[in-house]
Structure 1
C-alpha cells in the first residue's frame, strides 16, 4: 500500500505526536537527618523528542536543533572538511568525524541521565562543546555494540591503523580513551563485544589493496589489549561488519565471515557468495539487530548511491539470499528501528518501505521524498537516522533543505522541518532509558 506524504503532510506540534517522557525523581538538599534517604522524592517530567545535530554547510558549523519547537539551540564553528555525524552509544553526545583532517570532535547534547543511587535523574541543559578531540589518522568507520563505540582510523602511507574505544560514561568522566595500534595500514572496522575486540587485519605482504583479508580477536580488560588469535579463515576485500544477538558478520569480497559470539571459543565460518552474484559484487555493509535472526547486507557499485539488499542468515543452509524490493528497486539507505520490529528501506524512487521483521512481509510503503526533490548526486543523497528512544525516523533531504519525521510503527509522516540552510549530515541526540544494542 503506497501512500503519498503530500496528503499526510502537516505542521502539527511535534511534541503531541512523538514524546519521550522521562520520569525523574528530584534531589533533596539541605537535610542532615539520618533518615535523609527515606524521604519521598518529588517527581518531575522532562518531555523531549530529543535534539538533532546538523552540519550546516552554509556556515560550516554544527547546529543543534530542538526537535519539539524546531529552534536552533546553539551552533559550534567547525573548521576543515564537512564531517560525518554520529550518536554516542547512549545518545548524549554528537561525534563529528573529519577523516581528511585526522580529527574527531565530541559535542554534548545537554540531555542526559545520572544515576543518583536511589533514583535516576534526567537533565535538560544547553548543548556544549566538550573540548574532547581525537587525532587518529584518517578516522573512518564508527561502529556501536551496546554501550561501546569504536572508531577505526585507516591511517595513511607510512603509518599504521588504530582504533579508539569510547562510551558515554568515558566521555562524561573525561576519562582516557583507550587505543590499540595495529601492524599495518588498512580500510578496516572493529567491534567491542563484551570483553573481546574483533578487528580487521591486513598482512604486510598484501600491497595491491588497503582492504583487510582477516580478523583478529583481542581480550580487553579495560586498560590493556591481549591478542587471543588471528583467524585463519580468509575474508578477502573485507568491508563492513554487523551483529545480532548470536553472530558477528563481516562482508567479504567472496562471501561473508560469521563469528559465533555466544560460543566461548568464538569460532568463525566463511560462507561463499551465491552464484547469482556478478563479477566484482560483494557485501559491503552489514546491518543487524539483537532481536532479529537475519542480518542484512548491501551490494552496490563503487561510488553509487544505490544498492541491492541481501539477507544474511549464518545458521541457514544458504547463508546469503536476495532481499527483493517492490518494482525491483534499489535502496538508497536502510536500517532497523530501535525496537527491531521494523526494517526500513528508502528506495531510489523516494518511497520508504517498512518491513515486519517477524516474517519480513512488507507492512507499508509511503512516498517519503517526491521524485522532483530527490537528488542522488554525491553529497546530496538523502540520509535517514533513527531516534534511540522511539521507532521514529528522521529523513534529511539536503536537496530540499527539509527533514521529514516519520513514525515507523504506523508508517506516517508526523512533521516536516523546513531548514533555512543546507544540512549535509545529521545525528539524533536524547534520553535513552535502556542501553541500545
Structure 2
C-alpha cells in the first residue's frame, strides 16, 4: 500500500453574486392503490398490504417491541426485499418493476425509492416513538405506501440539518421537507415542502444547511461547474432565495458528503470543493484529471473518503487508489489499496474509520488520519466491477458497528462486526441483490 500527501490551496472566499429570485411549484403525486405491475409477495408466514396508503401500524398490524428493530432494504430485478438487520431473515418481498434506487428518508423508518418519474415512499414497518427520556418501539409489515413526490428523473436524496432534499435531474426542481413530519403526513398525503428550481436542469444535488440555507450544484445538461450558497426562503410565500456565494471551480461536480462539524463537500473532476465556515475551499488533485466523484463522510471525523480516477476517456476505470481529504487542514492523501473497488464500495465506521470493499473480496479498514490500513477482513470471493453501472455488484452499507455486504454471485448477504473484524452472520436471498440501505427503527 502506498500513499501520497498533498495540501490544498488557501481558502477562496468568493464575492456574493447578484441575488437570485427563484421559485418552483410543489408537485405532489398521491395514490391510494398499488400502481400497475406491483404486488406484495410476503415470505412464508408473513403478510404485506400491497395497496395500502396508510402507514404500517394502523389497524393493529404492528406490535410493540422491547427495543428498536433495525431492518435492511435492498433492490433486485423483481422489486424490493426487506430483511431483519440482526438475523438477516427476509421480512417481506414487494414487487416493483424497473431499475429502482434507494435512499434513506431521514426518519429511521422510511426509504425513498427513485423510480424515474417519482420518489416513492416505502414504509419499512419499524419505528420508535419518543416520550421524554424513553421510547416505545414498534414492528409491523413493510409496504409501498402509495405516496410519492413527483419528479422529472428522480436523482439524489440528501439528509442534512434535520431536513431531506430531493433533486430532480430532468427539471432542476428541489423539494425539501422535515423527515420528522413524514409519518403523520402520510396518513393523508405528503409533508409540507419548500421548493426551489435551478436555472437549468442537470444531474445535480442540493444540501440543506442550518438556518434554512441551501447548497445547490451549478450546471446544465452539457456542463456542471460548481456550487452556489442560497439564503433561506423569503418573501410573502417563502419562494425567494437570494444567492449569497458561489464557486465555479469544480468541473463535473458530483455527489456530496458531510464531515465532522457540518463541513460539506462535493466531488470535482480535478479535486474536491469544501464548504466550511461560510467559505469555499478547493482541494486540488495532483493530476490534471483526478476525479473524486463519490464520497463518504462521518460525523466522527473531519476527513472525507473519496474515490480517485485519472482517465477521462475510460468507459470504465477500475481505480486502486482512494482519496482522503482533511476538511480542517486541506490536506489530501492518495492511498493505493492494491485492489480496485466500485462506487458502492465506500463507507465509514462508527469511529470514522474509512471502509472500502475491494474487488479482492476484502473489506479494507483504514485510519482516515494516516491512511494506514488497520485490518483487511475477507468477506466475499474476488469479483470484477461490471461495465454497466446499473448491474449488480457487491455493495457496502454500514449501520452502527455492523457493515453489510451483498454477494450477487450467490444471492447472499453478510454482516461484518467492525469491532471484532469478523463476518458474524450470512443470509440467503431469494433474488440477486443490487442496491442496499437500511433503517434504524
Q: Same fold by TM-score, threshold 0.5 exceeded?
A: yes
Q: State the match for 1:296 in structure 2.
A: 305
Give the deviation of 1:243 after TM superposition.
1.7
Partner of 1:187, secondary structure, is coil
Partner of 2:181, secondary structure, is helix
Give the deviation of 1:401 after TM superposition.
0.4
Partner of 2:301, secondary structure, is coil
Give the deviation of 1:46 after TM superposition.
2.2
C-alpha distance in 2, partners of 1:352/1:320?
A: 22
Partner of 2:242, secondary structure, is strand
| Aligned with residue 428 of structure 1, among 407, 414, 438 | 438
Give the deviation of 1:47 after TM superposition.
4.5
Q: State the match for 1:324 in structure 2.
A: 336
1:270 aligns with 2:287: no
Q: State the match for 1:75 in structure 2.
A: 93
Kept in 1, the 8 Å contact 2:353–2:366? The answer is: yes
Structure 1's 322 and 69: CA in aligned 2 closer, same or farther, altered over 3 A? Answer: closer
Matches within 5 A, 1:21-420: 46-47=66-67, 50-57=70-77, 60-79=78-97, 81-98=98-115, 101-117=116-132, 119-155=134-170, 160-174=171-185, 175-194=191-210, 195-202=212-219, 209-220=222-233, 224=239, 226-246=241-261, 247-260=263-276, 263=277, 266-274=278-286, 277=287, 279-300=288-309, 303-304=315-316, 306-307=318-319, 308-316=321-329, 319-325=331-337, 328-332=338-342, 333-337=345-349, 339-357=350-368, 359-371=370-382, 374-377=383-386, 378=388, 379-387=391-399, 390-420=400-430
Give the deviation of 1:67 after TM superposition.
3.5
With the length of structure 2 as denominator, give the TM-score of the two structures: 0.74
C-alpha distance in 2, partners of 1:139/1:273?
A: 30
With the length of structure 1 as denominator, give the TM-score of the two structures: 0.75
Kept in 2, the 8 Å contact 1:63–1:75? The answer is: yes
Give the deviation of 1:233 after TM superposition.
4.8
- Once superposed, which parts of structure 1, at least 4 consecutive aligned residues long, lie more than 6 Å away? none
C-alpha distance in 1, partners of 2:353/2:194?
A: 35
- 1:267-313 per-residue CA deviation (whole Å, 9 max, x = no partner) reads 11223322xx2x53322122221221211221235653743311112
Give the deviation of 1:232 after TM superposition.
4.5
- 1:371-408 per-residue CA deviation (whole Å, 9 max, x = no partner) reads 2xx34223131111112xx2111101112101011011
Kept in 1, the 8 Å contact 2:305–2:346? The answer is: no
- 1:399-425 per-residue CA deviation (whole Å, 9 max, x = no partner) reads 210101101121110111011322222
Partner of 2:414, secondary structure, is strand
Give the deviation of 1:220 after TM superposition.
4.4
Give the deviation of 1:354 after TM superposition.
1.3
Kept in 1, the 8 Å contact 2:302–2:328? The answer is: no
C-alpha distance in 2, partners of 1:118/1:243?
A: 29
Give the deviation of 1:150 after TM superposition.
1.9
Structure 1's 351 and 68: CA in aligned 2 closer, same or farther, altered over 3 A? Answer: closer
C-alpha distance in 2, partners of 1:92/1:303?
A: 37
C-alpha distance in 1, partners of 2:430/2:281?
A: 50
Give the deviation of 1:187 after TM superposition.
1.3
Give the deviation of 1:45 after TM superposition.
5.7
Kept in 2, the 8 Å contact 1:342–1:409? The answer is: no
Contiguous gaps of at least 5 residues in structure 1: 1-43, 432-437
Alpha-carbon RMSD across the aligned residues, in angstroms, is 2.6
